[in-house]
Amino acid sequence: MSVHLGAWALTMARTFKLTADGGSRGNPGPAGYGAVVSENGKIVAELFDVIGVATNNVAEYSGLLAGLTHIHTLDPAAEVEVAMDSKLVVEQMSGRWQIKHADMRVLAKQCRDAHPASLVTYSWIPRDENSHADRLANKALDGGQANELAVTIQENYLTDRLRSNEDPTMIYFVRHGETILTPLRKFSGTGPLNPELTDEGLAQAATVAKEIAKIQPDVLIASPLQRTRQTAEAIAATTGLTIIFDEIWYELSFGNWDGLTNDEVREKYPDEYQDWLNSSAYAPGGGESYDQARIRVEAAMEKLLAEYPGQKVCVVTHNGVIKSAVSVALHAPHDAVFHMDATPCSITSISMWPSDGLRALRSFSERGHFR
């Protein structure tokens, strides 16, 4: 038997790597994107441009669209490996997260139409591994819109949004009730201790459940750890909602510090403890840093916005997660988490608008009036 191979069969498919990013100075505000296209480890294109006033998510999608469009002009049959630090874009384009907002669906469709979707794969990378695309996005912004516009948007846009008819997604964060570790201020992360609620913690959970029932949330989500599970079960019993457990709402991991007091950590790990006090980038004892948690929590908030536009969502989670969410909502410096503390079974509420992702802190650690 003889086999004839045409010239087309001898041509290997080209493979491009695309890293893309986008940014908005004001969210929404003056926005731009950056994209880097490489082949066999060599950069073949740097793309960047301003897109007017838009949100971070729109800018990120715009960077992806620009990169895929360019690659399609180079080779319509090429395979593309996309790497981005936007968990939202990666998960939505991979089909694992729903896209309920109409504007985001349009952008996603444009990206799928730009190059055959079957030839494109997506992966998430840490922000520091996407620095090239990020620099290009900032280069576009520095040469584009005036900085004065960003200041105006930052100061005034929330007032305009509050006057609009669009319903925000309301996120009601509930910190779990007291455990045996809480009064002692011991590190309590995702370690093997996984403490249950004390009798006081169960009473706190029953009380906050009555308050959440008054809010009438549409969705109840919780970290799967024992203390948040028990708190969520109290809320479920009062509201009739089914609990959706999601590990993305886990507390930070404190590694081998888990279960120790501050004084014990200071004595056993003096240098590491000082590093942790001095920087939100430090990960204690092989655990998770606040900077790493902030990326995870922001992605989790964007997931809620994508899947539950205009709805009320109750999330039962942990102190470190709630502090990170507030820091994200306020565009606060990363070390802001060291200057706040959520009380057990308190409620913290944040509004997020589906059309543009604007965030607003509505309350923090509310508990005193319903003790």
pLDDT digits (tens, 9 = 90+) for 256-274: 999 999 999 999 999 999 9
pLDDT of residue 358: 81
- Whether this prediction's pTM lies above 0.85 is answered by no
Do 191 and 113 share a structural domain?
Answer: no
- Residue in 70, 176, 288, 298 annotated catalytic: 176
Instruction: Output the 3-class SS for 229-298.
Output: HHHHHHHHHHHCCCEEECHHHCCCCCHHHCCCCHHHHHHHCHHHHHHHHHCCCCCHHHCCCHHHHHHHHH
Do 75 and 219 share a structural domain?
Answer: no
pLDDT of residue 12: 67
- What is the span of the domain harbouring residue 306? 169-370
Do 329 and 243 share a structural domain?
Answer: yes
Residues 6+ apart with CB under 8 A from 98: 92, 306, 307
How does pLDDT run across 157-192, given as a tens digit for each residue?
677 667 677 889 999 999 999 999 999 999 999 989
Do 210 and 150 share a structural domain?
Answer: no
Instruction: Determine how many CB atoms are found less than 10 A away from the CB of residue 55.
Output: 23
Q: Using the 8-state DSSP alphabet, how is residue 369 labeled?
A: G
Residue 371 has pLDDT above 70, yes or no: no
pLDDT of residue 206: 97
2 located within any domain: no
Do 189 and 155 share a structural domain?
Answer: no
317 located within any domain: yes
Which CATH number does the domain housing residue 55 bear?
Answer: 3.30.420.10
Residue 6 has pLDDT above 50, yes or no: no
Mean pLDDT of 210-227: 97
Beta carbons of 34 and 139 less than 8 angstroms apart: yes
For residue 129, give the amino acid letter: E
Average pLDDT value for the chain: 88
101 catalytic, yes or no? no
Residue 239 or residue 295, greater confidence: 239
pLDDT of residue 161: 67
Do 295 and 173 share a structural domain?
Answer: yes
346 located within any domain: yes
CB-side neighbour CA atoms (13 Å) of 226: 14
- Residue in 60, 211, 251, 272 annotated catalytic: 251
Mean pLDDT of 102-113: 88
Which CATH number does the domain housing residue 365 bear?
Answer: 3.40.50.1240
What domain count does the chain have? 2
How does pLDDT run across 45-104, given as a tens digit for each residue?
999 999 988 888 889 999 999 999 999 999 999 999 999 999 999 999 999 988 877 777
Do 235 and 213 share a structural domain?
Answer: yes
Decide which of 159, 178, 205 is a domain's last residue. Answer: 159
176 catalytic, yes or no? yes
Do 174 and 141 share a structural domain?
Answer: no
Decide which of 125, 159, 193 is a domain's last residue. Answer: 159
Do 268 and 120 share a structural domain?
Answer: no
